[in-house]
Structure 1
Amino acid sequence: MTVALGVRAPSFVHLSRLTDDTGLLEHARHAVARREHGYCTDDVARGLVVTSRERDPAPDVLRLAETYLGFLTHAQHDSGAFHNRLGFDRRWQDEPGLGDWWGRALWGLGTAAARSTAPWIRQEAMVAFTLGAARRSPAPHTMAFAGLGAAEVLRREPGNTLAAALLSDAATAVGWPDSDPQWSWPGRHLSYASAALAEVVIAAGQFQQDVALRAAGLRMLSWLRDLQLDRGHLSLLPASGWRHGTPRQRYDQQPIEAAALADACATAAAATGDTGWNDGVRQAIGWFLGDNDRGTVMWDPETGGGYDGLTPLGANLNQGAESTLALISTFQHAQRING
């Protein structure tokens, strides 16, 4: 496949448009931020992931990372849990908890601690990661996101026992895939960002040198990717998910699914040395470029924003934080595989 050729470096222009001195505004109407919806830790954490992944960040990107890190440390309670929703009036709208936002916060903090080019960001992120990594959630998705942060820390500090325990517990929370080749997945329901579950199992198998565990994660990912291929392009699972034995709906497809698949395939390629996994990354990139069920380009080159979803009528033209972050994350992989 060649769909990734010619993809330019990810643009942070729209992300900057959605970011103020407090954090990252969650929603937009077309390209204009909707302040009435405020901020959420989920998106700010993903913002810290993508800004920390930049190998040579421009000053404005580094400033975004600092803003996102400041938001997360403010959101974190002494217990290690996190608030999720902050109103535009700068008041928290919830109590600290261990939902997906806790997992994604640890993912962002772990990535910053491992990859940021700024020593002060790495240091502060590691302090917050350490506080949060002592907690656990019963939810597989939440633990998967936290485990991905732990895997980042372990790539920089292989002897970090706190991160190693969190990554191991994350893989345990996800579980093993069913032996049925027609449904090679833990549980009977596929929901959101499913590829992240396979990715954390692959990462855990790699760090634990557990060949069987790594193979289980690779089997999950291969099955999930094949499930979402239609005549060579990605036909992503819809936001409603899919339960075994029920009819599968085609829409509304979300950019987060393409980004999660790109991340997982990149991890599989690194873990195995098999560059064939990069085809999955290219297919995720292709989904944004219009190689999808509607033949619709899923981002706005003029603004740098990602569209919020693929509907039966084409793109949802709103350019919120989650979709823009998914776009940036996926395009970051394009730079790696295109050399």
Structure 2
Amino acid sequence: MKIAYIATYPPRECGIGTFTNNLYKSMLHHHHGTTRNEGFVVALDDNDLKYKYPKEVKLSIRQDHQEDYLKAVKYINLSGADICILEHEFGIFGGHSGVYILPLLHRLEMPLIVTLHTILRNPSYNEKAIMKEICKMATRIVVMSHKAIEFLTTIYDVPSAKITLIEHGVPDIHFDAEKSRREFKLDSKKVLLTFGFIGRSKGIETIINSLPLVINKHPNVIYIVLGKTHPNVLRHSGEEYRISLMRLVQKLQLDKHVVFLNEFVDEQDLFKYLYSCDIYITPYLNEAQITSGTLSYAVGVGAAVLSTPYWHAVELLSEGRGRLFNFNDSEHLATTLNDLLDHPEELNEMKRKASAYGEKITWSKTGAKYMDLVSTILEDSHHDIEKKETVMDLLILPPFSLSHINRLTDDTGIIQHAKFGIPNLKEGYCLDDNARALLMVLMAYRQMKNTQALELSPIYLSYIHYLQNADGTFRNFLSFSRIFLDKVGSEDSFGRTIWALGYLLGNAPNDAYYQTGRLVFFNAAPNFEKLSSIRGIANTMIGISYYLKSNPSDDSMTERLRNMTQTLVKHYKNNESKDWKWFESLLAYDNGILPLALLHSAEILNDQEITQTALESMNFLTSHTLKDNYLSIIGNEEWYRKEGERSIFAQQPIDAMAMVLMYHQAFYLTQNKDYLNKLYTSFLWFLGENDLRMSLYDFETKGCCDGFDNYGVNRNQGAESTLAYLISHLTVLQAYEELHRSDYRE
């Protein structure tokens, strides 16, 4: 049989990778009669790092590139694999809480075994929803402790019949303890050992603080800390924790008794150290550890083990296989160490029991258990493969890129126009585009942690601040030489700016941005209810709604939203008729913004009349723009007047963006997945599913053309069009994540 594995894999330094490598080898070396097993690995890369993988790795997935997951599932489905095994751990898959793995699993066309390395007792909403979805799609779930079964059945509602307990495997590697000690020049020492990735949750300071009391009685004790700093810790905090431990060693004058070995050793050397030690210690700081590979290894080689009482340790060290000491209790640890070192016969009895248990969990036996599980699944002709049809195919999306936006942006702001893909400096800057740019980069940073987006955001925010007048209104246009070209901009530009600022106040990447955004937002607030343009009102309503999502107790702003909403609803009532469900007597430009504003308002105000008006107007717009399975935007050549003829040409990207955003908010509000079909269809307008059947996205410049007319595509790629495309692209990605969480919304 042929088995596909999805996980991290060596040479990436990761415990899950080591586990998968051992599982792969042990399963392929196990034979059922004359059946020969084969398999391959789909490996997870991290942070776009490249690895020189062994030959069994046929494909790699860049962690934060959603399109790679979809390419991978196509490969797996066409590979001839009989079954897929996924190693799941939080932090190795992309998207919020690892949501990027869900589309892959949804499209998998074979039985799925999922090994869960972490199961959270208090998951966030997203973590729980994603875990439940993974468990739902799995044919069988493998865990490594009884506590894990308890959590899955009581917290995640997984049927116990779907869960199989297979304990963490241990390499069948043996060394002579005395020879190993002599090799490391430890033959005259009492050796304490901790190994694994280093981070604050490991609690190593508990052991160091216990040593003075131990060394007073046993001066030949040496403590070895074997392992590198965890890569995630290293990226965010550097070696801060390791340095703090070294300072603690100096403070306690333990330099001769503590050794830090900052390396990721192979299993041969690791086991030499394990055989060399007298006592192995895991001092984790809290109980939330459902599985510990390092603990399994230590017990597996027959080491005497001391541990804090985290979940896996309580279970694995029962029946005399080890001893427990209190969390963060150095005195208790010191007492326990001295007691064991004073009574070598008890120490040896612990080792004997651990060694006997370790013989049951060698990788050859673990691999055989996995193969038995695979055979059982494949022999059962009635197994159900959970599948969901997805309405969006992200494989056809170009990679998300800020290249053209970066090209258009200087230290003042974003240039509003371009000649083809080259910034047109003669046209200068405008508020509309800098507001849209701020919205887009905030979305990109929130969803993708795009560092380039974070670097661009203060430029656009600074432009908005500079263009604000003393009375809170805004100028719009600024020449390339930084000369103001107007005194007060349009209400549309005002509204779009408030939209961006409202989004900022709910999604600020840091406090400086938040405080600046808040200052500008509230300086502008006295002008909200002075607006008369319905699109200016609608854009402002969206901004207020985003603000209220993170500030729901602002009653004054809630009333402003209610008043503006009633203005928009009044426009609708004054213009609607049996065959015309719209806010004006014509369909003009940026039409989707009007229902979108009401959909946002309905979410905040929870008003059925507002919701009904939003959906009625949205359905009316849909009936005139979505036909033959593609979006046909109302053209700006001649707007569509009531009882008149609609214009096909002069279609513009901001209208497509409004449709994408409108359907996204409709899905969010109603959970009706049909809106995701419409969202995706609207987005495809950019990529050629339109009246001209021509793509507006330029795959070379990474910009978007300004629209199309009867002669074809307008090849200029200004800020408005490219930002409309990128905001739509980000919305599709966000909707794709939400699709796989929707079943768990209450």
Superposition TM-score, scaled by structure 1 size = 0.95
Paired amino acid for 1:197? L
- Alignment match, 2:690: 292
Deviation at 1:4, TM superposition (A): 4.7
After superposition, the C-alpha distances for 1:67-119 in whole angstroms (9 at most, x for unaligned) are 00000011111211000000111011111345211111111111111113222
Higher relative contact order (CA 8 A, sep 6+): 1
Q: 1:81, 1:98 within 8 Å by CA — same for their partners in 2?
A: no
Aligned to 2:647, the other structure's residue is in SS state coil
| Separation in 2, partners of 1:2, 1:275 | 11
Q: What is the distance in 1 between the residues matched to 2:489 and 2:418?
A: 26
**Which of 201, 205, 218 does residue 615 from structure 2 map onto?**
218
Equivalence for 2:325: none
1:195 equivalenced with 2:578 (yes/no): no
| Rounded Cα–Cα distance in structure 2 between residues aligned with 1:236 and 1:171 | 25
Deviations for 1:154-197, whole angstroms, at most 9, x for unmatched residues?
11111223432332233233233555342111220121111111
Give the equivalent residue in structure 2 for 1:22. 412
Aligned to 1:147: 541
3-state SS in 2 of match to 1:338: helix
- Summarize the Cα distance change of 1:228–1:250 in structure 2 as closer, same or farther, 3 Å threshold: same
Q: Which amino acid aligns with 1:193?
A: D
- For 2:500 and 2:452, the matched residues in 1 are separated by 18
| 2:440 equivalent among 50, 57, 66 | 50
Name the SS for the 1:277 alignment partner: helix
Give the superposition deviation at 1:220.
0.7
Preserved CA contact (<8 Å) 2:659 2:679 = yes
Residues 45 and 108, structure 1, Cα contact 8 Å, conserved in 2: yes
| 2:477 counterpart of 1:80 | no
Q: Secondary structure at the match of 1:134?
A: helix
Are the counterparts in 2 of residues 151 and 163 from structure 1 also a CA contact under 8 Å? Answer: no
Larger-gyration structure (1/2)? 2
Pair 98,248 (structure 1): closer, same or farther in 2 beyond 3 Å: closer
**What number of residue pairs does the alignment pair up?**
339
Q: SS at the partner of 2:432?
A: helix
Query: 5 Å matches for 1:138-287?
Result: 138-175=532-569, 176-177=572-573, 178-239=575-636, 240-287=638-685
CA RMSD of aligned residues (A): 1.6
Which range is displaced more, 58-67 or 36-45? 58-67
* Bigger Cα displacement from structure 2, 173-182 vs 98-107: 173-182
Match of 1:70 among 441, 462, 465: 462
Q: Contact (CA 8 Å) 1:4, 1:285: kept in 2 or not?
A: no
> Residues 166, 310 of structure 1: CA spacing in aligned structure 2 closer, same or farther, 3 A cutoff?
farther
SS of corresponding position for 1:305? coil
| Aligned match of 1:113 | 505
Q: 1:225 to 1:3 in 2, by over 3 A?
A: farther
Please report how far the alpha carbon of residue 64 of structure 1 lies from its aligned counterpart in structure 2 after TM superposition.
Answer: 1.4
Distance 1:206 1:116, change over 3 A: same
> Which of 495, 517, 522 does residue 125 from structure 1 map onto?
517
Question: Alignment partner of 2:531: what SS?
Answer: coil
- Distance in 2 (CA, whole Å) between partners of 1:332 and 1:210 is 28
The whole-number CA distance in structure 1 between the counterparts of 2:700 and 2:489 is: 38
**Range that drifts further, 324-333 or 51-60:** 51-60
| Unpaired stretches in structure 2, ≥5 consecutive residues | 1-390, 738-746
Letter of the aligned partner of 1:52 in structure 2?
Answer: L
Cα distance in 2 for residues equivalent to 1:59 and 1:90: 28
Distance 1:5 1:225, change over 3 A: farther
Distance (whole Å) between structure 2 residues aligned to residue 13 and residue 266 of structure 1 = 26
Contact 2:542 2:601 in 1 (8 A): no
1:34 alignment partner in structure 2: 424
Map of 1:308 onto structure 2 = 706
C-alpha change, 1:97 and 1:287, in structure 2 (3 Å) is: closer
Matched residue SS, 1:315 = strand
Residue identity (%): 27
For the residue of structure 2 that corresponds to 1:310, the secondary structure is: strand
Q: Secondary structure at the match of 2:713?
A: strand
The CA deviation at 1:285 is 1.3
